Amino acid sequence: RIILDLNTDLYNNLEVNFEQACNMSEKNFSQEELFEMLKNGNIPQKQIAALKIETLQNFEQAEILINNLTGCDGKIREAVALKINEFVNIGFQEFFLNAKSAEIFANATIDINANLCRLVIDSVSVLSENQDFMQIYSNKILNFINESFLELDKFIYKDKKYTINKQLFKLYWCLEALKLFYKNLSQNDLLKILERANKESEYTIREKIAQIVINLETDVFKALKQELKNDSNYYVKNVFRS
């Protein structure tokens, strides 16, 4: 009986949220109203507000927007990621080139939503020429990589596959982000990261490594590159055939 009531409440809430979102999508709102909803609204209000915003007028508005990139409902996060990606690609980069935004972008890079991860990394690629921004972002990503290695080293065969996959997912997107700044690392530091990541049996991790080492010509990476060229997985080997 209790379970039925909870499910009914959830169903009703979903219906209400969907109806509210549909109604809002048909209305026109001022810039001030949209940012007020994005700051203090419920899930459908924030989602629709993010999608309807057409411009940024100041740093305060940009902060309200990026504050919703993490720590809230997935529908809001993805809508905000879409809007930020749109803005940084049409000339609003300056509003996001600060320490707080760099931290938030890094945290969003390892979101559970892969579509959001892609949008965030694409946005960061536009902002990557700013050295101060990238220093903060890259340090955070490198910390995430090290955390993943530590967690993966702790696992034993009895651990649940979901727990392991969570760390592999995190490592995968960190390696994708690493492609934006690996040239800023020393060769020895980069090699340590790539060699450790290469120990994972998940082929998608090795594929990301291959996408990095294919661009590295020095002898430091020669052995690793050769190993990946001879990898048992087609997709890993195929990186070198493209």
pLDDT at 29: 85
In the block, residue with structure tokens 């960190």: 174
Q: Report, as an integer, the average pLDDT of 26-37.
A: 87
pLDDT at 124 over 70: yes
Q: 60 with 32: CB under 8 angstroms?
A: no
> Angle CA(3)–CA(45)–CA(107) in degrees, nearest 5?
85
The more confident residue out of 162 and 29 is: 29
Q: What is the pLDDT of residues 43-97, one digit of tens each?
A: 999 999 999 999 999 999 999 999 999 999 999 999 999 999 999 999 999 999 9
pLDDT at 237: 95
The more confident residue out of 238 and 25 is: 238
pLDDT at 21 over 60: no
Q: What is the pLDDT of residues 139-197, one digit of tens each?
A: 999 999 999 999 999 886 666 677 788 999 999 999 999 999 999 999 999 999 999 99
The more confident residue out of 149 and 3 is: 149
pLDDT at 14 over 50: no
pLDDT at 11: 39
pLDDT at 8: 45
State the pTM of this model.
Answer: 0.88
Say which DSSP state 55 is in.
Answer: -
| Spatial separation of the C-alpha atoms in residues 27 and 239, rounded to whole Å | 48
- Give the closest residue to 144 by CA, choosing from 181, 104, 175: 175
| Spatial separation of the C-alpha atoms in residues 219 and 177, rounded to whole Å | 24
Q: Report, as an integer, the average pLDDT of 27-36.
A: 89
Q: Which residues contact 233 (CB under 8 A, 6 or more apart)?
A: 203, 206, 207
Average pLDDT of the residues of the chain: 90
